[in-house]
Each structure stands twice: as structure tokens, then as C-alpha cells.
Amino acid sequence: MNSPMQTGKFISFLFKSVTVGLAVAFVILFLRPDLLTKDSAVVEFTQGPKPAAEKALAAAAAGGQASLAAPNSYASAVQLAAPAVVNIYTSKVVTTRSSPFFDDPFMQRFFGDMQVPRRQLESSLGSGVIVSGQGYILTNNHVIEGADEIQVALSDGRTTQAKVVGNDRETDLAVLSIDLKNLPTIVIGESDALRVGDIVLAIGNPFGVGQTVTHGIVSATGRNHLGINTFENFIQTDAAINPGNSGGALINAEGQLIGVNTAIFSRTGGSQGIGFAIPLSLAKGVMQQIIEHGHAIRGWLGIEVQAITPPLAESFGLSETKGVIVAGVLREGPADQAGLKPGDIINQINGKAVDDPLALMNSVAQFPPGTDIKLQGIRGGKPFDLTAKVSERPAPPAAAPQRMPEGMPGQMP
């Protein structure tokens, strides 16, 4: 049995413990009452609208799904689109001189023009997309330009000769036609709905190894001022694009066509994660005009313009650099007949602001020939308002492939 002394010590210890506990509770109750609330461990922040991913996850949980993880395969998208992507093989006969030895003026004095021209067959490859069961194929102009023979190979093993329906050098697009039955066609998507970060896949025939699929994201949209084409509105992607991919499909994660692979930005000629595709929103309109008219039809004024730099704005007494200065006017052209003169400043077309030469060119090009448009601007410090009748833009001459800025080659894959 416990002695009275041990029992006293235990009671004393218990009393001290209770006293300390009550003291601590008293301090907490009066100094930090928030620690005793039910949700004291939850730190509340100001919450904005639920992100789309969180909403989708909540919807999936409500529907009994365990999770909404990112897909581990895009095979369904590829399976839907790949049959409509074709390989394009072109060939042309090129005449060359037998030897550069006879190009020397000194040698020509003695031997004259004794060269015998040599004819050789050059071949190249690219890709294309079947966009219609009627046999229309969308591709790049540089893939087929100048070709004497064009052969198309389908993914199902069939091959056939193709005819050129028409081409457009200013967007680097072309439409071919083949005569086969039961053609696979691609599903058309909405390139204007693309966002930076969206998943995209490039399908084509790089280096002639056969149909290949690469994967990446949309790195940027609306890329222009690259010096690749006259009219530019590129989708930039890091999906690998290599020589032979030109004219191939850029598709979204649902397998829908949203662009035509066109060029790469590269120091070596290989893919470095910067590729460009023509968005379908641009390609579709050009393709329709080529099918209907054999070429793209655009509006044209017959003027040469330049951007307004700060020094020019100061010399003209302008408060801003928006608008363009008319540097030249083609005699008897639409602008000349409307009364436009060199030195005029155009800042609006049909009430819509014009910020730079590219904006003016794109704006005028959208008007069908024969359309009357209003030009607003400044002449001699005073506003003017003219009406010009748009003519059809002349086709540009064939030109060598252009280069990318800063000496970086713009490869046409």
C-alpha cells in the first residue's frame, strides 16, 4: 500500500499540473482566441475564379472519374489525320553548263562559247494534305514550283501523278489535284482559336524517311516581319520540322488541321525548335481562290509606302508615328487616279487605323478588285479624304528563297 507521504506528493503534483494547464488555457483564450477556432489551421487567401483545369477536375470527380491526367498518347489524333497527309516527289530537267572553266573571259577570247549544255534531272521532296474528297491537296508553293513532274504517295501505298491547280508565291501556298477514289481527308480545325501553350503535332516526310510525327506546343501566333513571305501570319511551334516537312500538316490534339508547315529558323539547316506554319485561317481563303480562279486575288493601290520614324514624324510636324508616308505612286494606277501624291500620309482606310506599311498592305489586299475605299490622311499639315477604286494585285515574279533576319537562314523544309 502507498504511504501517506507518497499520496501527498502525488496530489501535490496533480494540483500543480492542473494549475499550469489552466494558466496556459487562460493565456490562449485571452491573447490568441483564433487558435481555438474550428478552422484555425486553414490560412484563407483571396480566391479568383477557378482555373479551367480545376473545374474540369471537379467535373470529372462529380462524374465518378478518378482523375483527369494529361493524355499519355496522341495516337487517336494521329490516326485521324495521318491518312490524309501525303508525300510529294517532284522532278525537273535543269540545263547547266559543262564547265565553269569557259566562263572566264580570257578563255572565251580563245575558245569562244564552246560549251555543250548538259541536261540533268533534279528531284526534291515535300509533303501535302488532302483537304477534299474531290482530290485537292494543299501544300507549299516552294515544294512544287518549277516541277516538270509531281508524284504523290498516299499512306495506304497508292501513288499517282498530280496536276497543279494553282499557286500563290506571296503566301507560299499551292493546290494540287489527284484523281483517285475513296480518298482520306483531314478534318478542318480553327487556327484562330489557338493559344500559346496548346499541344500541336507536325506530320510530314522529313528527309524522305517516310511519314513522321513530331510533337510540341504553340510557341507564338501571328508571327510576321520574318521576310519569308509577302503575307505572313505564322504559327510558331517547337514541334520538330525538318527538310521534307514542307506542306505537311500541323494538327491539334484532336487531329484537326490548323496549319501548313512551311519554314524553320535554323543555323544548321536542321530543326532547332523554331518552326513556322501557315495558319489555316489564311491558307483556307487562298486555297479557295486558287480552286476557283487558279490564283489568289487581292486588292492593290499601286503605291510605295514607308513607315513613319520619329525623325520623319518631327519633320512632318506629327505628334505620333502611326500611319505611313506615300513614297511613290504608280502612274495611272488606282492611287494615282484617286489623286494620292508622294508625301501624303495615310492613317486610315475606311475609318480603320493604319499603323505601319504591313497593316496597310494587308488591309488593302482584303478588298476585292473594283471596291471603292476611303483613304484618310494628312497632306501639307491638313487632313484629306480620298476615294480609290481597288485594282487586282499583280502576280510577283519568281524569286529565289528569301533569308531570315540577322543572317539566319530561313530554311524551306
On whether both 255 and 346 belong to a single domain, the answer is no
| pLDDT for position 254 | 94
Grid coordinates standing for 354?
493604319
Task: Reply yes or no on whether the pLDDT at 92 is more than 70.
Answer: yes
**407 in the same domain as 264:** yes
**Domain co-membership, 292 together with 197:** yes
249 and 222, same structural domain?
yes
Query: What's the CATH number where 321 sits?
Result: 2.30.42.10
The domain that holds 208 is classified in CATH as 2.40.10.10
Task: Output b/e per residue, 175-214; b: 16+ Cβ within 10 A.
Answer: bbbbeeeebbbbeebebeebeeebbbbbbbbbeeeebbbb
Q: Which residues of 260-288 are buried (b: 16+ CB within 10 A; e: fewer)?
A: bbbbbbbeeeebbebbbbbbbbbbeebbe
Position 413 confidence tier, pLDDT thresholds 50, 70, 90 = low
The answer to whether residue 227 sits within a structural domain is yes
Is residue 346 included in any domain, yes or no?
A: yes
Split at pLDDT 50, 70, 90, the class of 117 is low
Residue 205, domain member (yes or no): yes
Residue range(s) defining the domain that contains residue 350: 299-392
Known active-site residue 142? yes
Name the pLDDT band for 153 (thresholds 50, 70, 90): very high
Residue 226 pLDDT greater than 60, yes or no: yes
Q: What span, in angstroms and rounded, lies between the C-alpha atoms of 233 and 226? A: 10
Cα–Cα separations (whole angstroms), residue 12 to 5, 18, 21: 11, 10, 14
* 54 or 376, which is more confident: 376
Asked whether residue 182 is assigned to any structural domain, the reply reads: no
User: pTM, whole model, 2 decimals?
Assistant: 0.73
316 and 365 in a single domain? The answer is yes
Whether residue 23 lies inside any domain: the answer is no
Write down the catalytic residue from 142, 191, 219, 271: 142
How many residues comprise the chain? 413
Of the residues 124, 127, 168, 172, only one is catalytic, namely 172
Asked if 331 and 338 count as a contact pair (C-beta separation under 8 A), the reply is no
- Confidence label for 171 from pLDDT (cuts 50, 70 and 90): very high
Catalytic residue among 124, 219, 246, 391: 246
Q: Is residue 149 a part of any domain in this protein?
A: no
Active site residue 172: yes
- Residue 51 included in any domain: no
pLDDT in tens, 350-387: 999 998 898 899 899 999 999 999 999 999 889 999 99
| Residue 291 maps to a domain | yes
Q: Give yes or no for residue 38 having a pLDDT over 80.
A: no
pLDDT band at 83 (very low <50, low <70, confident <90, very high): very high
The pLDDT of 294-323, averaged and rounded, is 89
Q: How many domains in the chain?
A: 2
* Whether residue 313 sits in one domain with residue 250: no
pLDDT at 212 over 50: yes
